[in-house]
Structure formats: C-alpha cells, structure tokens
Amino acid sequence: MKKLTLNLQILIAALLGVAGGWAMHGLPANSETVQWSLYASNLVGTLFIDLLKMVMIPLVFCAIVTGIANLRQHSQINLVWKTTLLFFATTTIIAVVIGISASQIFKPGEGLHLAMFADAMQQFESRQLTLSEFFTQFLHGIFMNPFKALADGNIIAIVAYALLLGIALVMASDRYPQLLGLFEEGMGLSMQMIGWIMRLAPFGIGALLFKLVATQDLSLFTTLAKFMLVVTGTTLLHGLVVLPALLFLITRKRPWWFLRNAKEALLTAFATSSSNATMPVTMRCATQNMQVKPEIAGFVVPLGATVNMDGTALYEAAAALFVAQLAGIELSLGQQLVVCFTTMIAAMGAPGIPSAGMVTMVMVLQSVGLPAEAIAILLPIDRLLDTVRTAVNVEGDMIGCLVVQHVTESHSSS
C-alpha cells in the first residue's frame, strides 16, 4: 500500500479534528468523554506548538545571521532590504483598503447596537495606550539585551540583533569564518530537527482544530455572523486572489504551484494561529519545497513574521469600522485615513506589551475616538477569526520570499 504524503496526512487530520470537535457539541459539556477528549487534544496540541517554539529561536537567529552574511555584496543587500520592505508595505496597504472598503459596502454593524453587548463591555478593562507610548514601548522592545531577548523569546528583538550581527560579519569580510560556519551548521541542525517534528504535525494540527471547534460558543456566531463573514471573506480574497495575483505578475509562478508547496505551513498557521510558532515550517516550505535560497528565506521569513501582518491589518481596520457602526458613528474620510495609518503601525505588533494584540486594537479604536471597551465584543470570536488571518500572514511571508528572490536574480543577471 502506498504511504500517504505528509501533506495528505495533515489534511486528513485537520478534517477529522474539525468533525470531531463539531460532534462534541452534541454531548453534555461535563461528560467524561468531552472532558477527556479536551484534555487529550490540549496535551497533544500544546506539545506540537512547544516543539516548534523550541527550535524557533535558534533557527531564526542562525537563519538571519547567515542570510545577511552570505549576501556579501552591498548592492544586493540593499536590493533585498528595499524589495522586502516595499513588498510588505504594499500588501499591507492593500489589505487595509480591502478591510475598510468591505466594511463600508456591507456594513456588518447595522442592525446591531452596543447595548446588546453592555455586560461584556462592563467586564472588560482596556489598557489605555497612546500612539507616542506605543512607539516608545515598541522601540524599547526592539533594542534590548540579546541574551534576555533569546531567553524571553522576543522575536523582534532577536531579529534586530541578528540583523546587526549579520551586517557586522559582512563588514568584517572573511575575518570570522569559524563563527559564520557555526551559525550555518546551527541552521542546518535546526532544519533537521524540524523534519522530525513535522512527523507529528498531523496529530498536532488535528488536536488543535478539535479543541478550537469543540470549545467555541456557536450561539454567539449567529449574532455576529455578518461581521465574521465579511472579515473571513475579505481575508480569503486577499489570500486567494490578491497575493497569488501579485506573485504571478511579478514571478510568473502559478497560484496552484504555490499552494501545493505551501500547504504544510498554511495548515500549521491555521491550526496554531501563530506566525512565530509556524516560522520553522514556513522556512522549511520556502527552502525545500519552493527552492528559495536559504539566505533569502533566512532574512525575509523572520522579518515578515514580525512586521508583515496583512491578515491582522485587514481585521483591525474592518473591526474599527464595525465598532463605529455599532456605536452609530459615521467616520469621515480623514478618520478612515487615520484608521488606515494606525492599523498599519499596530499590525506590526508590540513586543514587551502583555496582550499585545488587544492593546493595539484598543489603540486603533482610540485613534478615532471609538469606545475602547467595545473590543470585548470581539474577544469571543477573535480566536476563530485568528486562524484565517494567521494563515494569510504566513502566506504573505512565503510569497515575499519568492518575490525577493526573483527580483534579486533578475537584477544580478541584467
């Protein structure tokens, strides 16, 4: 009998996990079967995420250092930087515009009102954070003791230090070959361990999806169904149409080719709702399945996992207009532009701030005078929506790798 491929195993496990979680809704919540099933799924799912996080930090650090150091020519380094940041900024702007436009067209908040969610809003305590405070904490989180950053798993601080170390190795020319070789070997060993961990991916992803579906309050979804459909639909539009179209226009690579080679990372992102935890799988798909050069993937993927958040930007922009509609407030064009700008900044993340996603969403609402407590309305459905937007975030990182590699190769051959 022919052995199933890993992609097919993951797909089957994901479908079984969703079906099993849905079946749990037909049983009493306190039954022994439900309790044991949730315990087992939580155990397996947490183990899978923890294993990915275990290799994530050494992989990210070694990948960025070697990626920068191996881009020896300064012109090529500049081209990689410029292409990466331009692509990330472009896709984020498109995502924000899609989110705001869809909310204006479909108006998911109409027919509902804030009084319906009064209890949730009263029980929620929002942390106030001005734009200036956000920038201060953001910069403070970037430049810090690298050993503390490694111990705490502060990705953006690790990325910043690794970038500087990689540039220092470039400037030092060939004076530290042993050090560069050590980082290259560290990356190779990390990739080998990822291959072992991915053998558990079907079990981990199936367990995570089982727990997600089994623990969701289905009755709440009917109340917020229109908003969920608008956000999910626009996020899928960005992920299945906009990003693949950009990939084809720039590189001439077909969307089906990309999706076939990116399945492992996309399903892992969907199940874990974490770009950082998915990063080892993203690197594996980019370098092994899509033949992206390790130095390109080692730079683009970790940077993208910290600053390239198309799905998150789209969601926060749409959510801001949704809350405005609930409150009966008509945002002017100027206020919508403020939402666009604030959302782009907020989507980059806020290292060192507890519950960073909630804090940045509060910042977006406050930027145009919307009630920050209204974020409590979104908390119960956030986890489910997070699955799709995280998959789109990771998709943008992999497409960014392909675009950057194509541009640099075209430049070097011309």
AA identity, residue 279: M
For residue 34, tell me if it sits in a domain: no
- Residue numbers in the chain where pLDDT is lower than 50: 1, 124, 126, 350-356
Q: Tell me if 326 sits within 8 A of 110, measured CB to CB.
A: no
For residue 347, tell me if it sits in a domain: yes
pLDDT, residue 349, reads: 53
Closest by CA to 314, choosing from 397, 393, 212, is 393
For residue 335, tell me if it sits in a domain: yes
Sequential DSSP letters for 75-127: HHHHHHHHHHHHHHHHHHHHHHHHHHHHHHHH-TTTT--GGGGHHHHHH--PP
For residue 386, tell me if it sits in a domain: yes
Q: Tell me if 261 sits within 8 A of 274, measured CB to CB.
A: no
For residue 155, tell me if it sits in a domain: no
pLDDT, residue 237, reads: 97
pLDDT, residue 393, reads: 93
For residue 383, tell me if it sits in a domain: yes
Task: Give per-residue pLDDT as tens, 114-144.
Answer: 665 555 555 545 455 566 666 676 677 778 8
Sign of torsion over alpha carbons 196, 200, 202, 205: negative
Q: Could you tell me the residue range of the domain that residue 254 belongs to?
A: 73-143+217-413
Please count the structural domains in the chain. 1
Question: Which pTM value belongs to this model?
Answer: 0.83
For residue 349, tell me if it sits in a domain: yes
For residue 198, tell me if it sits in a domain: no
- CATH at residue 308: 1.10.3860.10
Task: Give per-residue pLDDT as tens, 178-237.
Answer: 988 899 899 889 889 988 998 898 999 999 989 888 887 666 677 788 999 999 999 999
Question: What does the block give as tokens for 145?
Answer: 């003791």
CA 398 to each of CA 12, 81, 145, 290, 308: distance values in angstroms, whole numbers, following the listed order: 24, 16, 29, 9, 11
Closest by CA to 360, choosing from 341, 346, 374, is 346
pLDDT, residue 126, reads: 47
Q: Tell me if 283 sits within 8 A of 317, measured CB to CB.
A: no
Task: Determine the angle formed by the axes of helices 379-413 and 275-284, rounding to 10 degrees.
Answer: 30
